[in-house]
Amino acid sequence: MTAPTTDRPTTGGVPRRSFLKWSGVTGGAAALVTTGAHLGSVPGVGAANAVLVSGGLDVDRTTWSACIINCGSRCPLRLQVKDGTIVRVLPDDTGDDEIGSQQIRACVRGRSMRQRIYNPDRLKAPLKRVGKRGSGEFEEITWDEAFTLFADKLKYTIETYGNEAVYKQYGSGTWNGLLSTSGGWKRLLNLMGGFLGYYGNYSYAQIGTCTRFHYGNTDEQMGNSFEDSAENSKLIVLWGNNPQETRMSGGGVLFTSMWAKKKAGVKIIVIDPRQSDSVVTLADEWLAPRPGTDAALVAGMVHTMVSEGLHDQAFLDTYCQGFDEAHMPAGVPAGNSYRSYVMGEGPDGIAKTPAWAASISGVPADAIVRVARQIALAGPVNIAQGWGPQRHANGENQARAIYTLAAVTGNVGIPGGGTGGREGYYWPVSEWFPDGKNPVKTQISVFGWTDAIERGAELTKLRDGVRGKDKLDVGIKFMLAYAGNMLSSQHSDINRTREILKDESLCEFIVVVDNQMTASAKMADLILPDTTTAERWDMAPSEYTGDTAYVIMCEKAIEPLFNSMPSYDICTGIAKKLGIEAEFTEGRTEEEWVRWLHDQTRAEHPDFPEFDQLREQGIYRYKDPEGPTIPLKAFRADPVANPLETPSGKIEIFSSELWEMTQTWQFDNPGPGDKLTALPEHVDTWEGAVEARTNTKFPLQVIGHHYKARTHSTYGNAAWLKEAHPQKVWMSTLDAAARGIANDDLVEVFNDRGRIRLPAKVTTRILPGVLSVPQGAWFNPDKDGVDTGGAVNTLTNIHPTPLSKGNAQHTTLAQVEKV
């Protein structure tokens, strides 16, 4: 299949074939009106409902598809099609209620898929900016013009500045699709000599970096699976971990955590500033620490364990470096072990007693003692941290502290235990679209792209975390943003970010590839309208779904709507303009690539069904042949024969590498929290819990929890979800009463970076002094610059964390007032 032609007949800017199919659904009674270049009154949802009313389930066919978004699961959907229109979305009808063969039930997001496909915000044609950048003023152009403009700007950038000036933005709007996650964009850029890369991600930049210094992994260290916990654990500690809302798939950890609770009766403690749905449905006990104080809370627990002889000294002696003075690397001055830090024998001379931890975290000292004893005495304990604690200005230390608690209690590498990392899983074995290798080895932090635009040639290895070379030679001049909403939603300090992007002397050309007109798309110079999963071929393997993996067939259900095009076909059209079409496609169409990828998987795993068989059955489930996930079993069995990839080969509670880096690491205008420590110490930070007590202007800590209505910003414009789960700021009854705010009052949350307006959810389910704004809402400023969409990143700080240079988006102070 070649790239679609550029002169299709259209009606009001909509391809005639799509328009006629939509009109036909309602007997020709519906008119599709476009306003501007992309928007219109789209009757797809109403038309689909009309079919159901008039024709029941009289459909032409039902195809398998999936909700391919970055929620940590993948859910199968059955799309029912009538006259070329999807008229109903049905869930998985296979499987049962038993663990390992459970039905993979889609949540409210996946069941709202038609509202995403037939949304008035759908991008309908290629658009070129005609007003000032960020004005949202565009003109419609042909695909041929779009391909030429992209190719010319890319070649100009490479010839003028070099490949390091080209940047593909991180985005996760399409996730774990064998073809669509790539879309072909990295392959295209690699064939043109490469681009500036990034390391890390917005989900777990801090833990993904610091784990290397603790466990030797270059990614996070997973823990035991919940399936193992259901069989072997006596206690699960969900530390900043909220599976009931963040991973709502019936095929994922929502189901396995419920199984462990309801079927196996495992006791569960949840530690979170907010009484999440996981607290409500799973917890036997809830501790609510102030945000950013988890390392202090861990230290207070360890002080109790050491004082009462409840820690596992034998494990620490055999498997760990740095817990006590007898197990420190040579050349380090006395008093730098973790035990010395906790017991007040270190440089600061402060004993990290439960009372000390209580004064910082807000958790009562008697609760700290009680829970410390439970964790130490329960038997096998799975301490499973989520990604909330590490998304702070001191996030690397917080993550390592929770890892350390698992070691202090000797739970690493045993059935029923855990590493202190997030619940484990069996990674799917599917083959992925071959992007090729990036010839450019230089990388920046995933969070550092605004700095790389604004002062690129100033960024260095030691100050800014540049990898692959000592410094950048040039800033980002050409940016490609595919399937993401970073430019005006998911990145911090939206107002400052937009100002940086509006300066056309910095980043000279911005391309957005998406299927919705997001606030980020409005920042583009060129918009290329992608399709949804329903309008292209793909396959979707599972992700964080425990010990059962699966793959879902995503058959093309309908033709691309309007003048949209699958990303692979867009890349093919651009590759032709660049003279690399043959190398890019290898002669394969989109569907042929998906078939080829499945053939490669079956070559190694012949038990997988053939492509057409999978197309019929929809889902193929398979299990980890080694049984429940228990990481570091071999290390626990023989640490000498199976050392970790740390300098010592052991778990490094005291990191030798970080100790050396503290002598060389540099900070630009360092403030509180801008420091590295070899131990997982509590570090007071800018806009942290300590500052909140003395900051009279902005005294409230702001966090941004994941929300049922969206996955990040995906589904943020679905009417059903906005009605069922409206955007509200959570605040405690005490904070509300002090400000004269009642439930559902319209309020404004603000600081020096911006102001958002949204209703208040006044509740006892959140710690006093803390606000939580569901993250991912679409930025929508009014004429005065107040964001009426309620995007939490209007408030968050662009200041990076010290080690990973990651996103500290839970470290924010603000004030709230009634409108």
> Which pairs from 45-53 meet CB under 8 Å and 24+ separation?
45/114, 45/115, 45/118, 45/719, 47/22, 47/85, 47/118, 48/85, 48/86, 48/87, 48/88, 48/114, 48/118, 50/25, 50/26, 51/25, 51/82, 51/85, 51/87, 52/87, 52/88
User: Does residue 394 contact residue 401 with C-beta atoms inside 8 Å?
Assistant: no
Interacting residues of 606 by C-beta distance below 8 A, sequence separation 6+:
none
Please determine, for residue 141, whether its predicted confidence score (pLDDT) is greater than 50: yes
Angle at 442 between CA 673 and CA 643, to 5 degrees: 70
Task: pLDDT band for 32, please (50, 70, 90 cuts).
Answer: very low
Please determine, for residue 266, whether its predicted confidence score (pLDDT) is greater than 70: yes
Torsion angle (degrees, nearest 10) of CA 796, 69, 240, 209? -70
Worst-scoring range by mean pLDDT, 2-6, 191-195, 729-733? 2-6
Interacting residues of 84 by C-beta distance below 8 A, sequence separation 6+:
21, 24, 558, 559
Predicted TM-score (pTM) above 0.75? yes
Please determine, for residue 40, whether its predicted confidence score (pLDDT) is greater than 60: no
Worst-scoring range by mean pLDDT, 91-100, 192-201, 325-334? 91-100
| Mean pLDDT value across residues 556-584 | 98
Q: What distance in Å separates the CA atoms of residue 394 and residue 804, rounded to the nearest whole number?
A: 10
206-426+630-661, CATH topology level: Dimethylsulfoxide Reductase; domain 2 (3.40.228)
Q: What distance in Å separates the CA atoms of residue 535 and residue 554, rounded to the nearest whole number?
A: 9
**Tokens 């009931």 sit on residue:** 244
pLDDT above 70 coverage of the chain, percent: 93
> Which pairs from 500-505 meet CB under 8 Å and 24+ separation?
500/450, 500/453, 500/454, 501/133, 501/134, 501/453, 502/132, 502/133, 502/134, 504/133
| Mean pLDDT value across residues 331-336 | 97
Residue 672 CB neighbours (<10 A): 15
> What was the pLDDT predicted at 668?
85
Domain with CATH 2.40.40.20 in the chain: 689-818
User: Does residue 58 contact residue 547 with C-beta atoms inside 8 Å?
Assistant: no
Tokens representing 412? 């690493």
> What was the pLDDT predicted at 806?
98
pLDDT in tens, 748-767: 999 999 999 999 999 999 99
pLDDT above 90 coverage of the chain, percent: 90
Q: What distance in Å separates the CA atoms of residue 374 and residue 694, rounded to the nearest whole number?
A: 34
pLDDT in tens, 758-792: 999 999 999 999 999 999 999 999 999 999 999 99
> Which pairs from 459-462 meet CB under 8 Å and 24+ separation?
460/666, 462/664, 462/665, 462/666
| Mean pLDDT value across residues 547-554 | 96
> What was the pLDDT predicted at 252?
82
The bridge status of strand 770-772 relative to strand 85-91 is unpaired
Q: Higher pLDDT residue, 187 or 3?
A: 187
User: CATH number for the 689-818 domain, one of 2.40.40.20, 2.40.50.140, 1.20.1090.10, 1.10.1740.10?
Assistant: 2.40.40.20
pLDDT in tens, 598-610: 999 999 999 999 9
pLDDT in tens, 466-519: 999 999 999 999 999 999 999 999 999 999 999 999 999 999 999 999 999 999
Angle at 707 between CA 211 and CA 383, to 5 degrees: 35
Worst-scoring range by mean pLDDT, 148-157, 184-193, 252-261, 330-339? 252-261
Domain with CATH 3.40.228.10 in the chain: 206-426+630-661
Amino acid code (one letter) for 211: T
The secondary element (H helix, E strand) that includes residue 665 is none
127-203+431-533+587-623, CATH topology level: Rossmann fold (3.40.50)
Q: What distance in Å separates the CA atoms of residue 20 and residue 674, rounded to the nearest whole number?
A: 60
Residue 388 CB neighbours (<10 A): 26
Could you tell me the CA-to-CA distances from 459 to 451, 463, 467 in Å, in that order?
8, 7, 10
Q: What distance in Å separates the CA atoms of residue 534 and residue 538, rounded to the nearest whole number?
A: 9
Q: What distance in Å separates the CA atoms of residue 789 and residue 778, rounded to the nearest whole number?
A: 5
> What was the pLDDT predicted at 388?
97
Amino acid code (one letter) for 194: G
Please determine, for residue 56, whether its predicted confidence score (pLDDT) is greater than 90: no
pLDDT in tens, 65-85: 999 999 888 899 999 999 999
Q: What distance in Å separates the CA atoms of residue 560 and residue 526, rounded to the nearest whole number?
A: 20
Task: pLDDT band for 734, please (50, 70, 90 cuts).
Answer: very high
Phi-psi region of 618 (alpha: psi -120 to 50; beta: other; left: phi over 0): left
| Mean pLDDT value across residues 127-151 | 98
Domain with CATH 3.40.50.740 in the chain: 127-203+431-533+587-623
Task: pLDDT band for 8, please (50, 70, 90 cuts).
Answer: very low
Instruction: Quote the mean pLDDT of the chain.
Output: 92
The secondary element (H helix, E strand) that includes residue 736 is helix 733-738
> What was the pLDDT predicted at 49?
41
pLDDT in tens, 623-669: 999 999 999 999 999 999 999 999 999 999 999 999 999 999 999 88
Worst-scoring range by mean pLDDT, 37-51, 222-236, 298-312? 37-51
| Mean pLDDT value across residues 569-597 | 98
> What was the pLDDT predicted at 671?
85
Q: What distance in Å separates the CA atoms of residue 643 and residue 626, rounded to the nearest whole number?
A: 21
* Three-state secondary structure of 555-587: CCCCCCCCCCCCHHHHHHHHHHHHCCHHHHHCC
> What was the pLDDT predicted at 459?
98
